[in-house]
């Protein structure tokens, strides 16, 4: 049975504007053929396809198509803050591939230890251990599992419209309709609450969102984790420190682990190493791309 699909700008885009753009920009034979080959062999993926163009190279802030047309990339999937093909990074990766290209956690190695030491040196307070995850969504997944083990409670609270990855557990914990559509049932025990917006939100005041969090935790019972983006990456809502301190208090009081997902914003992207000075908070779960830190 064909299911209704929410169409978004990033999704299967068949708009007039797209066709005009394609007609104007994709004129050479090779690019047309490669785009057609891509369409034949890849599944269309929500929020990503159809492909716009065929890339040949990337460098600094730019990506370049196979006709040498350069685009300034304002997106970069939040993972290229030192620029594409940064020579320092490329040299280090090449040297590492020559020396030791793979090491499971059955073994350890010097470079992994020094990387972990560097990361823990950046973290404040007694946050002093890391875990490398295969990817960013996996880090969220691991955090959710750890919360179950540590608290013995399986329920997770998050915000409506938040994003924590596109796997089934991450869309269950996240609240974006476009990822959840036709995917149910979601993971049991996931509960969304209205986000703390200062303007135009469900609550007039962000502190009401914090109070609702507590109300929800008390009424539901069995809540082991609250997962949140400290700055919402999709629309840049920035809750105040006062709000986060209150959330910290609520989580401590009810033995709920606070999972702070800074995946797109940590490690210098906002000009600071981390978004909120987490030394001001205690007992924190902190998820970072490829790294999971557990208090």
User: Binding residues for ligand PLP, per CB under 6 A?
Assistant: 78, 135-137, 140, 163-166, 229, 233, 261, 263-264
Residue 228 CB, nearest approach to ligand PLP (Å):
9
Q: Which residues does 212 contact at the CB level (< 8 Å), separation at least 6?
A: 193, 194, 203
Minimum distance from residue 135 beta carbon to ligand PLP (Å): 5
For residue 136, report the phi and psi dihedrals to the nearest 5 degrees: -75, -40
| Residue 184 CB neighbours (<10 A) | 8
Cβ closest to ligand PLP, residue 65 vs residue 195: 195
- Distance of closest approach, residue 174 Cβ to ligand PLP, in angstroms: 8
Nearer to ligand PLP, 137 or 209 (CB): 137
Closest separation between CB of residue 205 and ligand PLP, Å? 24
Q: How far is the CB of 67 from ligand PLP (least distance, A)?
A: 29
CB 173 within 8 A of CB 158: yes
Smallest distance, ligand PLP to C-beta of residue 94, A = 24
Considering the complex, state which of residue 42 and residue 215 has its C-beta at the smaller distance from ligand PLP.
Answer: 42
Instruction: CB nearer to ligand PLP: give 232 or 248.
Output: 232
The minimum distance between CB 262 and ligand PLP, in angstroms, equals: 8
Comparing CB distances to ligand PLP, the nearer of 161 and 206 is 161
CB of 179 or CB of 223, closer to ligand PLP: 179
Compare residues 229 and 293 and give the one whose CB is closer to ligand PLP.
Answer: 229
Q: What is the CA radius of gyration of the chain?
A: 22
- Asked if residue 291 lies in contact with residue 284, where contact means CB atoms within 8 angstroms, the answer is no
Q: How far is the CB of 193 from ligand PLP (least distance, A)?
A: 17
Q: Select 65 or 139, whichever has its Cβ closest to ligand PLP.
A: 139
d(CA 138, CA 165): 8
């Amino acid at each position: 049975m064909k299911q209704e699909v929410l169409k978004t700008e990033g999704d299967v885009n068949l708009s007039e504007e797209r066709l005009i753009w394609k007609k104007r920009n994709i004129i050479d034979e090779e690019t047309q053929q490669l785009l057609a080959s891509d369409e034949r062999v890849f599944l269309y993926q929500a929020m990503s396809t159809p492909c716009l163009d065929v890339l040949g190279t990337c460098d600094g802030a730019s990506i370049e198509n196979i006709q040498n047309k350069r685009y300034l990339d304002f997106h970069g999937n939040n993972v290229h803050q030192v620029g594409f093909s940064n020579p320092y990074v490329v040299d280090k990766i090449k040297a590492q591939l020559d020396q030791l290209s793979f090491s499971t956690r059955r073994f350890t190695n010097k470079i992994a230890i020094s990387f972990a030491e560097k990361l823990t040196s950046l973290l404040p307070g007694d946050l002093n251990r890391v875990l490398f995850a295969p990817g960013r969504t996996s880090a969220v997944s691991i955090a959710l599992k750890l919360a179950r083990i540590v608290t013995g409670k399986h329920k997770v609270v998050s915000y409506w419209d938040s994003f924590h990855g596109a796997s089934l557990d991450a869309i269950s914990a996240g609240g974006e309709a476009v990822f959840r559509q036709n995917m149910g049932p979601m993971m049991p025990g996931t509960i969304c609450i209205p986000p703390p917006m200062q303007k135009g939100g469900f609550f007039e005041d962000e502190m009401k969102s914090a109070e609702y969090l507590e109300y929800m935790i008390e009424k539901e019972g069995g809540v082991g984790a609250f997962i949140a983006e400290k700055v919402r990456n999709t629309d840049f809502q920035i809750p105040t420190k006062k709000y986060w301190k209150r959330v910290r208090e609520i989580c401590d009081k009810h033995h709920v682990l606070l999972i702070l997902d800074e995946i797109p914003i940590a490690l210098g992207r906002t000009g600071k190493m981390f978004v909120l000075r987490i030394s001001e908070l205690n007992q924190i779960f902190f998820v970072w791309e490829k790294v999971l830190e557990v208090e």
